[in-house]
Structure 1
């Protein structure tokens, strides 16, 4: 006869352990001290076994019967209930202990050695400012698409859709790493791919001669610290990208040969680039070197001299000089030089080579590099003299 709750409740302890049977192997074990435990007896692989299904009365008769049925299904599959309980407990513990923050740090340590300094700083900044404050303390199992979408929408609302897109990509990378290391089963960031649309690409704005003359007059007044002013001038004179200048090392500059050899690792197109230096650029570099404190970087940051100036530093100075609001940024110096040089008749191929817009044909690219070096040197010296003339300075002898 199946056991009733009344019989289970009234069962009194005896001198020895005894059991009251229910059905299908379930029984209530009563100990001499009065404690009562549910047991499920079964045979598996020809051997008798017993599994504990909870203590009475915290586990009721109805609950004990549910556990018995769960156990019977496992036994039919050749699985011991206690082994399945241990497995689930282990997974629960691992899942609970696997918070997002430590996994993200592991991912960063594992991947960052292969990144450029700029990209490494970019990812680190987003981790510290956007990702970890929101997700760092959460178990990975508790993070879903809604939590990630909330982060992306917050970034997008402040007008930084590209940052939001990158943040989603990096969160996805962390989850894929967690999957590879058996600490997550899926990547919830994949579900919000495309939730934020990249803003319209704005092409660089070129300054008119009048605007350029005005800007040159503003640099010594509103251009910030002297090193920032010099860095701004170096961009003007050399036509390099802002990121290429920020990555610059003094070991790349040959003052005697008047050339700056930028290695491919610092270039957007991942190709070596040689920049002929005008007398004006040499003058700027010589003064810049007095601010570097003997360090490797050409433009070290004020607070962190072992890192280059922030990518927003010069744009901030441009804003103070009246060129803010997205109307003009550092990449506009390249467009300005290119436009004016074309207007004054310099060959387009030489200008494009100076801008490092390299042909995908390697043979032609190598040929162009050799062919246009002399012409580019003359062109940049003309450009330096032109800039000096706008500032009312006499071109230096060279």
Structure 2
């Protein structure tokens, strides 16, 4: 029997040679010094060799264990070499037929006909929402409940994204069917399982990047009141409720800290709300300050020369209508839905998004103290959001899904 000492002392020679152990196991030492574990055996009357790896990566004990496993297979009438090949092939097939592998293959095939922005959006949604849950599963083993569970997790954050993903997954399943790696498109089983589009939307909103870019350019070109145009420019950068926006007061704006602190009595939840101000938001306010900074309100009514009355409730809405946006397309409240949809889709921390939207806190005691919760993350998010809107306004169609990590 071999020993580790004997193996370590063995030197390479001009020709390969063997150091025998027992029961067919031996170590073959090559002229270049490489050492390979082999096992000689007979199967169906033919002499064969099994390979167990390289020493010292595979130790003497491990090589003996592999030999014993091979001998058990031989006792059952199974060729250990063919058995090893079959296992390797099965593992390779599972990898080649995984949902992620097929999805990426499908994406590569079809994305050449898309714009770069749309191509990136589709793949990023899959990477963010689908691959972590079912990407490594063989596509033929995925069930409708598997897919539904994954989509519902996305739906809780971004309903529209979940609906788009169901359609995308259906295309991937159909591609797998066409290439012989799946038998049916199970996404069809989920019809009606997700919330229908618009079922929970109370305020019309624009969420398609290209249309957002159009809206922002239309706002810049608005020819009405300077104050209303400033309100329209600030609205998408802060996405507060319309009443909170029009009632903004200069005393609440802290340029040095780059934040707007809205007092609790003005808020729907009756607690202080901090709005981090991006450089773009600060610019809007700084440009407006010489015009309205002498009064109380940031956006005073044009019927109030002293600035002691804020914009009317319908000022922003009327401006949107003058720009051609109908009731079912966009509202003042729609800037919130726009931000909520896309920020969730871009992968920002859900709690940070919810806190910035000042949504209801279930725990009333906690609600009184959480106005600054997630503030560092929210500051990064608000600046990244403003930068993203700038890119859309300039005509970009790419959604920076990695914005949170780059910020």
Interval containing the TM-score (normalised by the shorter chain):
0.3 to 0.5
Relative contact order, CA 8 A, sep 6+: which one is greater? 2
TM-score of the aligned structures, taking structure 1 as reference length? 0.46
Q: Which protein is bigger by CA-based radius of gyration?
A: 1
